[in-house]
Chains A and B, each alone.
Chain A
Amino acid sequence: MQAAVLLEFRHIEKRFGGLTALADVSLTINHREIYGLIGPNGAGKTTLFNVLTGLYVPDRGQFEFDGASLVGLKPYRVAESGIARTFQNIRMFGNMTVIENVMVGRHVRTHAGAIGAILRTRRARDEEVAIRHRSRELLNYVGISQHASALSRNLSYGDQRRLEIARALATEPKLLALDEPAAGMNATETTELRRLLEKIRDDGVTILLIEHDVKLVMGLCDRVAVLDYGRKIAEGEPARVQKDPEVIRAYLGGALP
């Protein structure tokens, strides 16, 4: 039996000079949950992602993932421990083919080194076959296998988002952190994305989601947290949070004092 809590942020604070991007943010995310992170632009959502994935070191606070502290770990260590992410402004390896992109994602779970590659040892060859096979499976999984040998930067916007998800899944994450995966998608694509995310959750991966599409967040997430000016102003089931006066004020602006 796994522990219910997968990820716990405790009193995270991150400042950039005089700007406090995150102030005393505490969150817990449970196993097999789709957890939404919403808030107006500049609320600190992406900063929290960057803290989580090791790009930033928090000025104060701790976070624990799967029972171990990850604070101060390098990004590749974070990936190794089971957190994979996508980026708000898509970051693919544009001049690699679609399948190569996913194959890069397998890097962290495979071992062949330079010597193995040069001598083309049995193990290195078998591993290479397995990498290719698994990558193809993942392309099928997200539904872009027909573009496998296309150059990734020639994909449509929606497909690039899917590719980023496939690449992230290739690292065998326990937690998949998605930074605005529906941005720029039309209604059909968003519906497909929603189905994909539900499928991923059902296959046992916990999802942390930053999203602006309120309909998507409300329909998909088990719980959401709302950030505003670096503070958590609400947390809970989507329907409840939606009615929270503090949240409404943050989004729509309150009455003048």
Chain B
Amino acid sequence: MQNWIERLEHLRAHRAAPWLGIALVVVTLMILPFALASVGTAWVRITNLAILFALLSLGLNIVVGFAGLLDLGYIAFYAVGAYCYALLASPHFGLHLPFWVILPISAAVACVFGVLLGAPTLKLRGDYLAIVTLGFGEIVRIFLNNLSQPINITNGPQGVTLIDPFRIGKVDFSRTDSLLGLAFSGPIKYYYLLLAVLVLAIIVNLRLQNSRVGRAWVAIREDEVAAQAMGINTRNVKLLAFAMGAGFGGVAGGIFSATQGFISPESFVFVESIMVLSMVVLGGMGNIWGVVLGAILLSFVPEILRYTVEPAQKAVFGRLLIEPEVIRMLLFGLALVLMMLYRPAGLWPSKRRKREFAETDPG
């Protein structure tokens, strides 16, 4: 035993250790969908959804974590991106643009909506901003619900169906192809695509964090008056935060549309906004890795519970006492309370937030 630990320590100190670690993670992520598919295709879909939520959380993290602007209507940008894709690649309007044309459009339109939300709320902070953004999220959803007349744009509550899947050349993301003797089903193809997008999103976030713009965001969060006095154009910098955050939501929404093949306003309700915000807060506001962790945990744990709570109850009590859905929310609430008590800065807080919560003012 002792010998093993020594060996491990030795390995850790090795120059190649970080590369070995990265290689290990890459290999795991590459094999993961096949491992999951052997359990059930549903798990691949759940993973894809988890990655989508990680994308959303990264976007919201820019607004809430970096710039400190509490946004309770973030799912609206997801909706905007999703409808952009749905309307431009479905029989609804008879348009079938390729995804690499639509995704940038989705991102751009979401950015515009981000600015639309940001512009009137520039002077608001904290609770007041939260209420307005909440309203904004609802307005977008209600519009989607009702824009079926006089001109049918969104098809109302029925939603948009038969949305095109992604296609790259002859590879159709809705069909199963085999390559090198491996069956690449639709969800597995989306998994790899989503993984690539997620890596890209993480890189973008990391680079923004340690940049002139990233510092300006944090400065505004810390003290807006001082930030202005230092020559930061708080209006533009805030709008940029809203736009960038919304852009992530737009891209995620576009991919969501394609993976589902069907969307309706019901997918973009207020609770979804809260869910994304919980992922950001639970994971560790302001820390990119924490936020990704939060998104993955909060996507997977409920699913795991869904599959375990029922059999567990049957085994213990002989019958189903509490619906899995109810228990999920119960445990969710419990987790949030425990988090507040024991890890108020999140599971994996940013160094800055950690200090914020841990240290009392020395003065």
Q: Which residues of B contact A53 (CB under 8 A)?
A: 229
Residue in B218, B223, B234, B361 whose beta carbon sits within 8 Å of that of A76 in the complex: B234
> Are B359 and A154 touching (Cβ within 8 A)?
yes
> Are A157 and B363 touching (Cβ within 8 A)?
yes
> Are A76 and B355 touching (Cβ within 8 A)?
no
Residue in B210, B223, B355 whose beta carbon sits within 8 Å of that of A93 in the complex: B223
Count of chain A to chain B residue pairs whose CB atoms are closer than 8 Å in the complex: 115
State the CA gap A55–B228 with chains docked (Å). Answer: 9
Within 8 A of A (CB), among B198-230: 204, 207-208, 210-216, 218-219, 222-223, 225-230
> Are B240 and A114 touching (Cβ within 8 A)?
yes
Total chain B interface residues with beta-carbon distance under 8 A: 34
Beta-carbon nearest neighbor of A79 in chain B: B231
> Are B207 and A100 touching (Cβ within 8 A)?
no
Whether, in the assembled complex, B356 has its beta carbon less than 8 Å from a beta carbon of chain A, the answer is yes
Q: Which residues of B contact A106 (CB under 8 A)?
A: 212
Contact with A along B50-67 (1 / 0, CB 8 A): 000000000000000000
Whether, in the assembled complex, B12 has its beta carbon less than 8 Å from a beta carbon of chain A, the answer is no
Beta-carbon nearest neighbor of A108 in chain B: B231
Whether, in the assembled complex, B70 has its beta carbon less than 8 Å from a beta carbon of chain A, the answer is no
State the CA gap A168–B247 with chains docked (Å). Answer: 34
Whether, in the assembled complex, A105 has its beta carbon less than 8 Å from a beta carbon of chain B, the answer is yes
> Are B233 and A76 touching (Cβ within 8 A)?
yes
Whether, in the assembled complex, A32 has its beta carbon less than 8 Å from a beta carbon of chain B, the answer is no
Q: Which of the listed residues B213, B223, B226, B229 has the most CB atoms from chain A within 10 Å of its own CB? A: B229
Within 8 A of B (CB), among A114-128: 114, 116-118, 120, 124, 127-128
Beta-carbon nearest neighbor of A153 in chain B: B361
Total chain A interface residues with beta-carbon distance under 8 A: 45
- Given contact pairs A93-B219, A107-B212, A154-B362, a sample of 5 additional A-B residue pairs in the complex whose CB atoms are under 8 Å apart: A76-B231, A79-B229, A114-B244, A117-B212, A151-B359
> Are A91 and B231 touching (Cβ within 8 A)?
no
Q: Which residues of A contact B352 (CB under 8 A)?
A: 95-96
Q: Which residues of A contact B232 (CB under 8 A)?
A: 76, 104, 107-108
Q: Which residues of A contact B230 (CB under 8 A)?
A: 79, 84, 104-105, 107-108, 167-168, 170-171
Within 8 A of B (CB), among A89-104: 91-96, 100, 103-104
> Are B361 and A171 touching (Cβ within 8 A)?
no
Q: Which residues of A contact B244 (CB under 8 A)?
A: 114
Residue in B204, B222, B233, B240 whose beta carbon sits within 8 Å of that of A95 in the complex: B222
Within 8 A of B (CB), among A138-163: 151, 153-154, 157
> Are B215 and A95 touching (Cβ within 8 A)?
no
State the CA gap A170–B234 with chains docked (Å). Answer: 18
| Known A-B contacts A113-B213, A114-B240; A80 and B231 likewise in contact (beta carbons under 8 Å) | yes
> Are B208 and A114 touching (Cβ within 8 A)?
yes
State the CA gap A103–B218 with chains docked (Å). Answer: 12
Q: Name 27 interchain pairs, CB-CB below 8 A, sorted by A.
A: A53-B229, A74-B228, A75-B225, A76-B233, A79-B230, A80-B231, A84-B229, A91-B226, A91-B229, A95-B218, A95-B222, A95-B353, A95-B356, A100-B218, A104-B232, A107-B215, A107-B216, A108-B230, A112-B211, A112-B212, A114-B213, A117-B213, A128-B210, A153-B361, A153-B363, A154-B362, A168-B230
Whether, in the assembled complex, A110 has its beta carbon less than 8 Å from a beta carbon of chain B, the answer is yes
Beta-carbon nearest neighbor of A113 in chain B: B213
> Are A120 and B207 touching (Cβ within 8 A)?
yes
> Are A117 and B214 touching (Cβ within 8 A)?
yes
Q: Which residues of A contact B216 (CB under 8 A)?
A: 104, 107
Q: Which secondary structure dominates chain A's binding surface? A: helix
Closest Cβ–Cβ distance, residue B164 to chain A (whole Å): 29
State the CA gap A15–B301 with chains docked (Å). Answer: 59
> Are A91 and B225 touching (Cβ within 8 A)?
yes
Whether, in the assembled complex, A85 has its beta carbon less than 8 Å from a beta carbon of chain B, the answer is yes
Q: Which residues of A contact B362 (CB under 8 A)?
A: 153-154
State the CA gap A106–B226 with chains docked (Å). Answer: 13
| Known A-B contacts A53-B229, A114-B244; A103 and B208 likewise in contact (beta carbons under 8 Å) | no
Q: Which residues of A contact B240 (CB under 8 A)?
A: 114
Q: Which residues of B contact A114 (CB under 8 A)?
A: 208, 211, 213, 240, 244
> Are B229 and A85 touching (Cβ within 8 A)?
yes
Beta-carbon nearest neighbor of A106 in chain B: B212
State the CA gap A103–B211 with chains docked (Å). Answer: 10
State the CA gap A110–B355 with chains docked (Å). Answer: 29
Residue in B212, B215, B222, B231 whose beta carbon sits within 8 Å of that of A94 in the complex: B222
Whether, in the assembled complex, A131 has its beta carbon less than 8 Å from a beta carbon of chain B, the answer is yes
Contact with A along B231-252 (1 / 0, CB 8 A): 1111000001000100000000
> Are A55 and B211 touching (Cβ within 8 A)?
no
Q: Which residues of A contact B215 (CB under 8 A)?
A: 96, 100, 103-104, 107
Q: Which of the listed residues A87, A109, A114, A168 has the most CB atoms from chain B within 10 Å of its own CB? A: A114
Q: Which residues of B contact A117 (CB under 8 A)?
A: 207-208, 211-214
Beta-carbon nearest neighbor of A114 in chain B: B213
Q: Which residues of A contact B225 (CB under 8 A)?
A: 55, 75, 87, 91
> Are A104 and B227 touching (Cβ within 8 A)?
yes
State the CA gap A94–B208 with chains docked (Å). Answer: 20
Q: Which residues of B contact A153 (CB under 8 A)?
A: 361-363
